[in-house]
A and B are shown apart, each in its own frame.
Chain A
Amino acid sequence: MNHFTISDLSVAYQTVQVLDRISLQVAPGEILALIGPNGAGKSTLVRAVSGVVKIKQGIVSYGGCDMTQLSPPERARILGVVPQAQPVGGAFTVEQTVLLGRTAYMNWLGQASPADLEAVHWAMEKTRIEHLAQRRNAELSGGEQQRVLLARALAQKTAVLLLDEPTNHLDLRHQVNFLSLVKDLAQQENLAVMMALHDLNQVSMYADRVALLVDGCLLALGSPAEVLTEKNLHTAYQTRVQILSDIDGYPPLILPRRA
């Protein structure tokens, strides 16, 4: 099995160490949740792994192949990123946007091959946005936009999928639908998924494993039950929480206490 592996990864902005020797592994079909307080380095980890931020030391590899040495198109065929929804590309239609996911496979003229179009339609079908194909991005709701970005990453046909706080700005229904969709896709398509999340209860419900980042260091790594403890969360967030673990049909739930 090809695992997605980050070993000994460090990133520094000028002299400030932002990530300090992070090591973790994601298996195919598995969802790893990245949690931690604001500024802990979750987004930086996503950006470093996807080649946007320069890595100071360490290796990012997939199936034994060192990804730090790859060119952007080569990397984009292995690893796709779903960014936080931003108001960009508003004039493009949904179909054009999803087609951009095929950039790494296209020639210099950017012509779409039949395989490209097939991948685009497959991705739009999976994310249930086919009916929006000719709509412009500026006309979509937040939930729809996030699904378009997911479809674009799926169209890349990668083995690894990174998501950076995808449920920000979504309402309850869209949060649940979106995360369930990601969970199904991870299992059906055998994707190794790494997802930065803020909501700890979502982590508990959807993640197979959890990595807790604090100040650029990995504080804990393991199953939700192992990582989401009162002690760990107090260390990370400086907030007292209570874990409710005996509610039928639910994984352990995390409730903050009043300060």
Chain B
Amino acid sequence: MLTRSGEQAAVSIFLLIVACSRLHANKARTPTSVPFDPNLEEGLMESWHENRARKPPPRSRRFFIIVKFIRSRPFFVNTAALLFALIFSIALGAVYISPNNVLRILVEQIPGLDILPDWPDAFATIILRVRLPHSVLIMITGAALAGSGAAYQGLFRNPLADPYVIGVASGAGLGAVAAMALHWPENLLGYYWIPVGAFIGALLTILVVYSLARVGGLVPLTTLILAGVAVGTFTSSLTSFLMLNSDDRIHRALSFLLGGGTMSGWQPVLASLPYMALGVILLILCGHRLNVLQFGEEQAQQLGVSVERTKILIIVTASLTTAVAVSFSGVIGFIGLIVPHLVRMIWGADYRRLIPLSILGGSTALLLADVLARIVLAPQILPVGIVTALAGTPFFLWILRRAKSEVFW
């Protein structure tokens, strides 16, 4: 029963997304014509002409209102979706806790609010010690991946840029693993060092990929992906090498990380929060500059942007957020590719909106992917990276096919 309604929900969400993205296109295109049939009678011909003249094409009214609402209130829709996904993600697991109880347990934590606890004590422990930190970490990771993906796409003016595809995630993974191999985190302070290692790894990788992929003033699609794959494979194999030569405890943790699993408990969350906060602020500051950069570096300079400085700011910011994501959740692909694309299709290309919306949408998307990863083969838990890769690869190929005639780009 549950999977059945889940299926329906997935289908209707997909239809909504398609409808939202079509709204732009319909404005420009002439109304779709009905194929001409010479055998039609006179009366029918009239209605044929009427049909031709009518625009936009008829559409279910209720559906249209929902689409319009989604398009006109991006922040409300995204925040609401994120909250639902969060509650849903906390509620599901080996023990099902109803969303109602989840909400009340969370509200009870706010000092000054006393709710008579009528749930088993174990529920509160499960939620506060296990599920909430896990979900929050997933949220942070999704937000960081989608935010940095949007920034990379804007920087390279390339619809296929994504921290995973261009190899930066693998580089950050190598940095994180190196940091852990050097100094296994014993306390919170130890955890703070992992993103630093990941950041250095990410930054070095992006500089190498960038200089390899750059042809003249542009970063063409093909060279970017080739360079990303080459450098990404190289850093992944270095990571595997490090793992083979590390002791057993690290070995287990790292192989978990590589498949895109997450660490547990509150310490990774606390360790990633300051980096994430800085990353989000910097990403939002990049918004307008990314808009200007879409017109090419020369025009950006003439419009009053210090191009070189701006590029460094964007690279540092995107690498920082990628590092936050990879440090505690491993290498998760395609969230940084899919989410900014969907946001761009529905709410347009303005990076001042695209970036914060991608951050919200990335959290939601990864939370949902994580829920799927936990329930598909329950009680076995899949690494969330497998789910995003399964969903992301067809999407990647679809973008690759239509990249030539980009309407939204």
Contact = CB atoms under 8 A, between A and B. Distances in A.
Given A103-B288, A108-B285, A110-B289, A72 B294 contact: no
Question: Which of B292, B298, B304, B349 is packed against the most chain A CB atoms within 10 Å?
Answer: B304
A103 B284 contact: no
B349 A91 contact: yes
Contacts of B292: 100, 103
A137 to B, nearest CB: 9
Contacts of A65: none
B306 A72 contact: yes
A58 to B, nearest CB: 19
B2 interface: no
A104 interface: yes
A96 B305 CA distance: 16
Interface in B291-311: 291-292, 294-296, 298-299, 301-307
A92 B349 contact: yes
Contacts of B348: 91, 93
Question: Which of B24, B285, B298 is packed against the most chain A CB atoms within 10 Å?
Answer: B298
Interface stretch (B86-94, B383-391, B401-409): B401-409
Contact of A110 (B157, B288, B295, B298): B288
B294 A88 contact: yes
Interface in A83-130: 83, 86, 88-93, 96-97, 100-101, 103-104, 106, 108-110
A170 interface: no
A66 to B, nearest CB: 18
A92 B291 contact: yes
Contacts of A90: 406-407, 409
- Chain A contact residues (Cβ within 8 angstroms of B): what range? 35 or more
A93 B304 CA distance: 20
B291 A50 contact: no
Contact of A92 (B289, B301, B350, B407): B350
B344 interface: yes
Contacts of B350: 92, 96
B2 to A, nearest CB: 39
A171 B303 CA distance: 27
B303 A76 contact: yes
B409 A91 contact: yes
Interface string B205-249: 000000000000000000000000000000000000000000000
B303 A104 contact: yes
B302 A76 contact: yes
A51 B304 CA distance: 10
24 contacts: A50-B302, A51-B301, A51-B302, A73-B304, A73-B306, A77-B304, A83-B302, A88-B157, A88-B295, A88-B299, A90-B407, A91-B344, A91-B349, A91-B409, A101-B303, A103-B303, A103-B305, A108-B288, A109-B285, A110-B289, A110-B352, A135-B28, A139-B28, A156-B304
Interface of B: 24, 28, 157, 284-285, 287-289, 291-292, 294-296, 298-299, 301-307, 344, 348-350, 352, 406-409
Interface of A: 47, 50-52, 71-77, 80-81, 83, 86, 88-93, 96-97, 100-101, 103-104, 106, 108-110, 135-136, 138-139, 152, 156
